[in-house]
A and B are shown apart, each in its own frame.
Chain A
Amino acid sequence: MENKLYVSPSPHIHGGDSISKNMYGVLIALVPAFLVSLYFFGLGALIVTAAAVFFCVLFEYLIQKFLMKKEPTICDGSAILTGVLLTFNVPSNLPIWIIAIGSLAAIGIGKMSFGGLGNNIFNPALTGRIFLLISFPAQMTTWPEVGQLTAYADATTGATVLTLMKEGALDKMPTLCDMFLGKMGGSLGEVSALALLLGMVYMFWKKIITWHIPVSIFATVFVFAGIMHLINPTVYASPFVHLLSGGMMLGAIFMATDYVTSPMSKNGMIVYGIGIGILTTVIRLFGSYPEGMSFAIFIMNGVTPLINSYMKPKHFGGK
Chain B
Amino acid sequence: MLRTFRIGGIHPPENKLSAGKKITALATPKQVIIPLSQHIGAPAQAVVKKGDLVKVGTLIAKAGGFVSANIHSSVSGKVNKIDNALDSSGYKRPAIYIDVEGDEWEETIDRSETLVKDCTLSSKEIVDKIAAAGIVGLGGATFPTQVKLMPPPGCKAEIIIINAVECEPYLTSDHSLMMEKGEEILVGVSLLMKAVNVNKAVIGIENNKPDAIAHLTKLAAGYTGIEIMPLKVQYPQGGEKQLIDAVIRRQVKSGALPISAGAVVQNVGTAYAVYEAVQKNKPLFERVVTVTGKAVANPSNFLVRMGTPITNLIEAAGGIPENTGKIIGGGPMMGKALVSSDIPVTKGSSGVLLLTKEESVRKPMQDCIRCAKCVNVCPMGLNPAFLMKYTIYKDWDLAEANYIQDCIECGSCSYTCPANRPLLDYIRSGKGKVMGIIRSRKS
Q: Which of A7, A14, A316 has the most CB of B within 10 A?
A: A316
Contact between chains at B333 and A13 (CB < 8 Å): yes
B72 interface residue per 8 A CB criterion:
no
Name the A residues within 8 Å of B411 (CB-CB).
Answer: 10-11
Given A7-B337, A9-B425, A13-B332, check contact A260 B326 (CB 8 Å).
no
Q: Which residue of chain A has its CB nearest to the CB of B256?
A: A317
**A6, B353: Cα distance in complex, Å:** 13
**A313, B357: Cα distance in complex, Å:** 37
B336 interface residue per 8 A CB criterion:
yes
Contact between chains at A318 and B254 (CB < 8 Å): yes
Identify A264's interface contact among B253, B367, B375, CB under 8 A.
Answer: B375
Contact between chains at B371 and A10 (CB < 8 Å): no
A-B contact pairs, 9 of them (CB 8 A): A6-B360, A10-B333, A12-B353, A15-B415, A19-B366, A19-B419, A265-B375, A316-B379, A317-B254
**A266, B406: Cα distance in complex, Å:** 20
Given A19-B366, A22-B371, check contact A9 B382 (CB 8 Å).
no
Q: Which of B415, B420, B428 has the most CB of A within 10 A?
A: B415
Q: How large is the interface on A (under 10, 10 to 19, 20 to 34, 35 or more residues)?
A: 35 or more
Contact between chains at B369 and A117 (CB < 8 Å): yes
**A14, B365: Cα distance in complex, Å:** 12
Name the A residues within 8 Å of B253 (CB-CB).
Answer: 317-318
Given A12-B355, A316-B380, A317-B252, check contact A264 B385 (CB 8 Å).
yes
A5 interface residue per 8 A CB criterion:
yes
Contact between chains at A259 and B328 (CB < 8 Å): no
Q: Provide the A261-273 mask, 1 if CB < 8 A to any CB of B, else 0.
A: 0111110000000
Binding site for A on B (CB under 8 A): 7, 10, 12, 90, 169, 241, 245, 251-254, 256, 324-328, 332-340, 353, 355, 357, 359-363, 366-373, 375-376, 378-383, 385-386, 402-403, 406, 409, 411-412, 414-420, 422, 424-425, 428
Cβ-Cβ contact count across A and B, 8 Å cutoff: 153
Contact between chains at B369 and A259 (CB < 8 Å): yes
Identify A12's interface contact among B335, B368, B380, CB under 8 A.
Answer: B335
Identify B372's interface contact among A9, A265, A315, CB under 8 A.
Answer: A265
Name the A residues within 8 Å of B381 (CB-CB).
Answer: 313-316, 318
Name the B residues within 8 Å of A11 (CB-CB).
Answer: 332-334, 411-412, 414-415, 424
| 4 pairs of A and B residues whose beta carbons are closest in the complex | A11-B411, A118-B367, A264-B372, A259-B371
Identify A317's interface contact among B251, B334, B363, B383, CB under 8 A.
Answer: B251
> How far is the CB of A159 from the nearest CB of chain B, in Å?
38
